[in-house]
Amino acid sequence: MNSPTTADHKIVLITGASSGIGAATARRLAADGHHVVLGARRVDRLEALVAELRAAGGRAEHRELDVTDLDSVRAFVDAAHERHGRIDVLVNNAGVMPLSRIDALRVDDWNLMIDVNLRGTLHGIAAVLPYLRGQGGGHVVNVASVSAYRVDPTAAVYCATKFAVRALSEGLRQESRDIRVTVVSPGYTESELADQGGDPEVRAAVRAASQELAIPASAVADAIGYAIAQPANVDVNELVVRPTAQG
Ligand code: NDP
């Protein structure tokens, strides 16, 4: 572990921290000396990760979180603020990707992606923004995707949610003078994202491509760590991190 100065020690909230990019980001930021507050639905995973981080000398805590529920997101953010008296960074990372063609009409999957990827991100912003404004600064990091920049068959709704995350991030950036806004957009990355949901054939194809190409989740976590580490007057707005071999 590093030995950070007080100025380096930030209170960082991470949604979707129970696996993949969120867990890797927790490891990276705890190693950088930040205090990480981890949220997700699988509390057993969070408990194990907090124990791992503390055993390595890090500062970490967790709370059950469902980003589709505004009350749950508010409770997650409010508890962290009450405990620490400030919130420096929110990493809106929770996401799902049940892919299928539009004409398969898997409307429940569409709604789930809208609820988690888009509405969940907005819930995070709604819960944290009054605190950031009140303390005169802070940082919102939204995890989008290369699917925020391009549309592919079977991914239309997922892309729509990620384009929307990029759009609302840009709007928040334009409306802010003291709050940094960063969009981090991964390509194929090792995680559990393609393990369930959507059309089984599409899922198998995505898993095959991911097994061939995927970069470690730590590569995306490093990009998030880089953006957070910049001085308060330097806002890294967009980072796309994809495998070198991804088309
Ligand atoms: P994982 O499936 O490994 O992680 C997704 C995380 O989101 C889990 O921790 C899960 O926790 C959490 N989550 C899902 N639904 C909810 C919910 N309702 N409330 C709270 N947490 C929730 O996938 P990744 O690490 O890959 O995904 C992280 C982000 O990266 C997502 O936004 C994804 O779209 C994005 N991304 C990933 C890419 C990749 O190739 N891996 C590429 C591009 C973007 P739990 O189930 O415990 O609640």
Instruction: Indicate the domain borders of the chain.
Output: 6-232
Candidate from 13, 14, 15, 18 with most ligand 1 atoms within 8 A of CB, to mutate = 18
**Average pLDDT rounded to a whole number, residues 112-141:** 98
The model's confidence at residue 5, banded by pLDDT at 50, 70 and 90, is very low
Q: How confident is the model at residue 3, as a pLDDT?
A: 41
The model's confidence at residue 2, banded by pLDDT at 50, 70 and 90, is very low
Distance 124 CA to ligand 1 centre (A): 15
CATH of 6-232, one of 3.90.25.10, 3.40.50.720, 3.40.50.10190, 3.40.50.10420: 3.40.50.720
Is residue 93 within 8 Å of residue 25, measured between CB atoms?
Answer: yes
The model's confidence at residue 6, banded by pLDDT at 50, 70 and 90, is very low
Q: Atom 32, ligand 1: which residue's CA is nearest?
A: 95
The model's confidence at residue 115, banded by pLDDT at 50, 70 and 90, is very high
Q: How confident is the model at residue 84, as a pLDDT?
A: 98
Question: Exposure pattern of 124-135 as b/e (b: 16+ CB <10 Å)?
Answer: bbebbbebbeee
Closest-CA residue to 180 (of 2, 5, 10, 30):
10
- What span, in angstroms and rounded, lies between the C-alpha atoms of 68 and 176? 25
The model's confidence at residue 145, banded by pLDDT at 50, 70 and 90, is very high
SS3 204: helix
Q: Atom 44, ligand 1: which residue's CA is nearest?
A: 145
What digits encode the pLDDT tens for the residues 32-61?
Answer: 999 999 999 999 999 999 999 999 999 999
- What span, in angstroms and rounded, lies between the C-alpha atoms of 185 and 146? 5
Query: Which DSSP letter does residue 160 get?
Result: H
**Average pLDDT rounded to a whole number, residues 167-188:** 98
Distance 89 CA to ligand 1 centre (A): 18
- 198 or 7, which is more confident: 198
Distance 6 CA to ligand 1 centre (A): 31
Rounded (to 5) percent helix, strand, coil in the chain: 50, 15, 35
Q: How confident is the model at residue 1, as a pLDDT?
A: 41
Q: What average pLDDT is seen over the chain?
A: 96
Distance 92 CA to ligand 1 centre (A): 10
Pocket of ligand 1 (CB under 6 A): 15-22, 40-42, 45, 65-68, 93-97, 116, 143, 145, 186, 188-189, 191-193
